Amino acid sequence: MSENEKNIEERIAYLEEKVLKLEEQNKVYENDQIKLFQTIRNLYEINQQAMESISKIVEDQGKLDIVQSIIGARCNNIRYELCDPKRKQYRYPIIKDREEALEEIIKNKKSIARFGDGEFGQIFGQDRQEFQKTDHKLGVRLKEVLYSRHPNLLVAIANNYGDLQEFMEHGADAIRCYLEVDDMRSQHLALLEEGRVYYDAYLSRPYVLYKDHNTDAPRKRFESLKEIWKGRDVVIVEGALTRMGVGNDLMDGAKEIKRILAPATSSFERYDDILKASLAHAKEDILFLIAMGPSAGVLAYDLTVEGYQALDIGHLDLEYEWFLAGEGKRTAVPYKYNNELEGDETALKLHDPVYEAQIVEDFS
């Protein structure tokens, strides 16, 4: 074989080897292309599914917007529907506001007994408050007070049954939930007399419930309340750890202060002794301020029957402490019993010579 033929054969072998390699590379390319096309198809399908989901979301959002619009319209219009005179299944108690109550208390020296969840709970035999265990006799006495027609006693109920727009949202929601459980609204209305005039029990809660807590309005409400005892001799009947006006200026306008201490909890167990002691320290034009749970309304009533002005005014001192703290919420008050803030149910020991000198009876 000539040298030339040998070169030609080598070139042919080389080219055949290159062709084989190219064919192998082409197969790899074809496989990659198939995979690429499959990936593109998968992406296309995913895109289609995403577009369908987006379309459904947009459609659902449109439906949601319509539903929200309908619900909004219903909520806005319900006040007119419910107040329509043709509807007779709803009844709202007649409740005069705090200004009218204050006028009766200051000008006409009326007494007041307040009814809230604790008092109604006692009447219904339900446990509502840790500081006063359920007592059948107390429930009977409270019902007597609720139906009393004594001309010098204002019967006050919490203004919870209608418009709540003046309250903080969390407070309004708590009221709504309370009235919803066990159909409490119907239970209340079954007790309350249609056509009777009541007064606002939130008279002694001027601060933490209200949306205007960060304005000057609470200060004005407290100043109005201070006019009640300005220049007057006062007997404070309170739970042993209530300490009304101690450490603040709430009671500074009073002429003289005496204190009768009741048990910090379940004060009704000593009720007869407390009433007897109150009458022993009574005199003409004396003012009784009472803060001892559901028993307070009963004592206010009994003292009114005896011819004295007596105000069930529980929670007022705590409200004043919260107002002075200026946080728009319930805060810890270390030296006072605070049943409305979890973890603050105990009070630190207090040594205050002025406060101690005011205590004339102690049933704690």
Instruction: Considering only residues 192 and 67, tell me which one the structure prediction assigns the higher pLDDT.
Output: 192
DSSP state of 204: G
Dist. CA 309–CA 150, nearest whole Å: 12
107-126 tens-digit pLDDT: 999 999 999 999 999 999 88
Taking the CA of residue 174 as centre, how many other CA atoms within 13 Å lie in the half-sphere pointing to its CB?
Answer: 7
pLDDT given for residue 104 in this prediction: 98
324 vs 188: CA distance, rounded Å: 34
Distance of alpha carbon 97 from alpha carbon 104, whole angstroms = 11
CB 225 within 8 A of CB 206: yes
Contacts of 338 (CB under 8 A, 6+ apart): 318, 330, 332, 344, 345, 347
pLDDT above 90: residue 163? no
Q: What are 193-227's pLDDT values in tens digits?
A: 999 999 999 999 999 999 999 999 999 999 999 99
Look up residue 24 and give its two tokens: 């192998």
Residues near 184 by Cβ (< 8 Å), separated by ≥ 6? 120, 178
Residues linked to residue 290 through DSSP beta bridges, in sequence order: 237, 312
Predicted TM-score (pTM) of the model is 0.78
Please, is 288 exposed, middle or buried when counting C-beta atoms within 10 Å of its C-beta (0-12, 13-18, 19+)? buried
Q: List the beta bridge partners of residue 291.
A: 238
The domain segmentation of the chain, as residue ranges, is: 1-84, 95-362
